[in-house]
Amino acid sequence: MTTMVDRAATARIPRPPAVTPEAAGRRNRRAYRRRSAVADLLTVSVWASAAAAAGLYLASPGAHDLTSAASVVTGIGIVAGLVATDLVLVMILLAARVPLVDRVFGQDRAIAVHRSLGKPVLYLILVHGLLITIGYGLSDRTNPVGETISLFTTLDDMPLAYLSLGLFIAVVVTSLVAVRRRMPYEAWQAIHLLSYAAVAVALPHQLSVGSVLASGTWQRVYWIALYVVALAAVVVYRFALPLVVTFRHRIRVTAVETIAPGVFSIHLQGRDLARLGVEGGQYGIWRFWTAKTWFHAHPVSFSAVPERNSARITVRDLGAGSRRLGSLRPGTAVSLEGPYGLFTKRARTAPYLALVASGIGITPVRSLLEHSDLRPGEATVLLRGSDRSSTYLWDEVAALARATDSEVFAMVGRRPSRLDAWQSEDDLRRGVTLTSTFPHLLESDLYICGPQPWADLVARDARFAGVPEHQIHQERFES
C-alpha cells in the first residue's frame, strides 16, 4: 500500500476555522441523537399501526361473537389480513422515497426494510385466506374446496381478492435474490410495480366483506385515510415531484467522457442546479430520454457536487443498460428523481473521518470529500483497485486531499484466492488492516462504497476491530 498524498508537502487553501476533535464529536453526537429520536418515533409508529390494525377488529361488533370454533378461526384470519394490509401500506411508504424517511434512515435502509417485510406479509395474507376459508367452511359445514368455490362465485369482490393474492405471490417470488438475478432489470421492475395493483384490487373486498370496514363506521374512515396517505405519498414523491424537478431544471447531457475502459463521466447542464440541494455522497435516479435508454432508470451517484448550472455523474459498464449510456449524445434530455441517500456528512457521529472506496464506489466518496469541511488531519482515505485501469478519479481525490489536508492511501492488486479478505494479496501478506491504515479508526465515521461483497468484508473487519455500528456507513443504491 502506498501513500498518494504527502500532507507535509502539499499546498493548502483557506478552510473554515478549525474546531477541536472533542467539539466536532459533541456536535456530531447531538445530530445523531436527534436523528435517532426521530427514527425511534417512526419505528414505534409502525408497530403501533400494526397493533391498531388488530385493535380495530377487537373493537368491532364482530369480535364479540367469538363463541365457536368457526368464529375463532375466522377472527384470527381477519386479524392476520388486517395486519398484513397495514404492513403493505408501510412497505409502500418505505418505497415512496418520502424525504423524511430518507433523511432519517437513508433510502437504502428503507428499501432493505421494505424487502424484509415482503415474506411476512405474504405469509399473513396466505394465513388470512386459509383461515377465513376454513372458518366459513366450519360455519357452513362445507369442506375448504367447496367453500372456496362458494366464496368465489357468491361474493362479487372475491375474484379481485384472489387476483390480489396472485399478484403478491408474483412480486415476492420475483424479489428473491436467486430469481431476480436471472431476470432482466426491466422485467423485474415491471413485475414489482404490480404490488400497487395488488393493493388496489384488494380494497373492494375489504370494504364490502365483514364488519370491520362496514359503511358508516369510524374504522372505515381510518383505513381509507391510511390508503390515501400511502398512495398519495407514491403519487407525490415518485411521480409529481420528479416531474417538477425535471421541468424546473431542464437537465441535458453536454458531453460523455471516457475516463477508463468501460467507465465514463456524463457531464450535465441545467438551470440553477444548486437548488437541487445535493450533498456530497448522494445519488439520484436518472432516466435518459433516448429510444434505447428511456425505459431504464439508473441509480447513480453524483461524482462531483453540482455547481450552479452543471453537474457530473460517473458510470461503469455493468450491463447492457449502463453500457448504452456511453453513447449518449449532447442535448439528450434527462429526468431526475432525488437526490437521495444518507451517505453524507449528515450521518457523522465521530470526530474523525475514514473513507474506503473500490471501483466505481469512488464516486460518492469523492463528492463526500469535496463537500466536507475538514480540520487538518481529520480525514484519511483508502482507495482500492484490482489494477491500474481501475484507478479512475483517484487523481481528483488526491487533489481534494491536498486542499483538505487529508491523507490518501492506494491499494492496488488482486485479492488473494481466499474469499474473506478485502485487501490486495500483497497488502494482506504485509499485515495491512483497517487499524494500521486509519490511526483514529475507533473515533472515526467509516464510509465504505464498492462492490457489495467486498464492502461487507470491510464492514465486518470494522466491527471486529470495535467500530460501533452507528459509525459504519454503506450505501446500497436501489431504484
Q: CB burial class (10 A; 0-12, 13-18, 19+) of residue 50? A: middle
Instruction: Report the distance separating Cα 383 and Cα 359, nearest Å.
Output: 9
Number of neighbours of residue 383 by Cβ within 10 angstroms: 27
Q: Which residues of the chain have pLDDT under 70?
A: 1, 3-22, 24-25, 61-67, 147, 155-156, 175-192, 203-217, 418-419, 477-479
Is the preceding omega at residue 14 within 30 degrees of 0, hence cis?
no
Claim to verify: residue 81 and residue 230 sit in the same structural domain: yes
Domain final residue, candidates 296, 324, 340: 340
Give yes or no: residues 360 and 287 share one domain.
no
- pLDDT, tens digit (0-9, with 9 covering 90-100), for 48-92: 888 888 887 777 765 556 667 877 888 888 888 889 888 888 988
CA pair distance 464, 461, nearest whole angstrom: 5
Contact indicator for 85, 53 with CB cutoff of 8 Å? yes
Grid cell for residue 307 = 455547481
Q: How many CA atoms lie within 13 A of 178 on its CB side?
A: 1
CA-based torsion, 98, 99, 105, 111: positive or negative: positive
Show which of 193, 210, 236 is a domain's final residue: 236
Q: Considering 280, 315, 340, which residue would you say is the last residue of a domain?
A: 340
Please report, for the domain that includes residue 377, its CATH number.
Answer: 3.40.50.80
Report how far residue 288's alpha carbon sits from residue 20's, in angstroms, rounded to the nearest whole number. 45
Identify the pLDDT of residue 82.
86
By 3-state DSSP, what share of the chain in percent is helix, strand and coil, each rounded to 5?
A: 55, 15, 30
Enumerate the β-bridge partners of residue 473.
447
Query: Is residue 42 situated within a structural domain?
Result: no
| Whole-Å CA distances, 338 to 23, 284, 300, 305 | 32, 5, 10, 14
Domain contains 363: yes
Residues 120 and 160 in one domain: yes
Q: How far apart are CA 166 and CA 385, in angstroms?
A: 45
- The CATH number for 320's domain is 2.40.30.10
Domain enclosing residue 179, as ranges:
60-236
Peptide linkage before 330 cis (omega within 30 of 0): no
Q: Is residue 43 part of a domain?
A: no
pTM of the model: 0.82
pLDDT at 22: 65
**Same domain (yes/no): 457, 430:** yes
Say if 217 falls within a structural domain: yes
In this structure, the strands spanning 379-385 and 352-358 are parallel
H or E stretch including 336? Answer: strand 334-340
User: Which helix (H) or strand (E) element contains residue 158?
Assistant: helix 158-175
Alpha helices in 283-442 (DSSP H): 320-324, 362-371, 394-404, 425-429, 434-437
Concatenating the DSSP letter of every residue in 275-313 gives GG---TT-EEEEEE-STTTTT--EEEEEEE---SSEEEE
Residue 201 belongs to some domain of the structure: yes
Answer yes or no: do 222 and 122 share one domain: yes
User: In terms of domains, do 102 and 76 share one?
Assistant: yes
The kind and range of the H/E element at 316 are strand 310-316
Say if CB 24 and CB 372 are below 8 A apart. no
Q: How many CB atoms lie within 10 A of CB 161?
A: 25
Query: What whole-number distance in Å separates Cα of residue 472 and Cα of residue 456?
Result: 11
Q: Is residue 33 part of a domain?
A: no
Residues 131 and 264 in one domain: no
What are the CA-CA distances from residue 385 to residues 31, 131, 340, 393, 422 (Å)? 34, 55, 26, 12, 11
Q: What is the pLDDT of residues 258-303, one digit of tens each?
A: 988 889 999 999 999 988 999 999 999 999 999 888 888 889 999 9
CA angle centred on 94, ends 92 and 99, rounded to 5°: 120
Judgement on whether residues 331 and 297 belong to the same structural domain of the protein: yes
Q: What is the pLDDT of residue 8?
A: 32
Q: Say if residue 325 is in the same domain as residue 351.
A: no
Is 28 a domain residue? no
Report the Cα–Cα distance between both ends of the chain, in Å, rounded. 35
Tell me, yes or no, whether 428 and 411 share the same domain: yes
One domain for residues 314 and 224 = no
Whether 138 and 85 map to the same domain: the answer is yes
- Does 44 map to a domain? no
Structurally, the chain folds into a number of domains equal to: 3
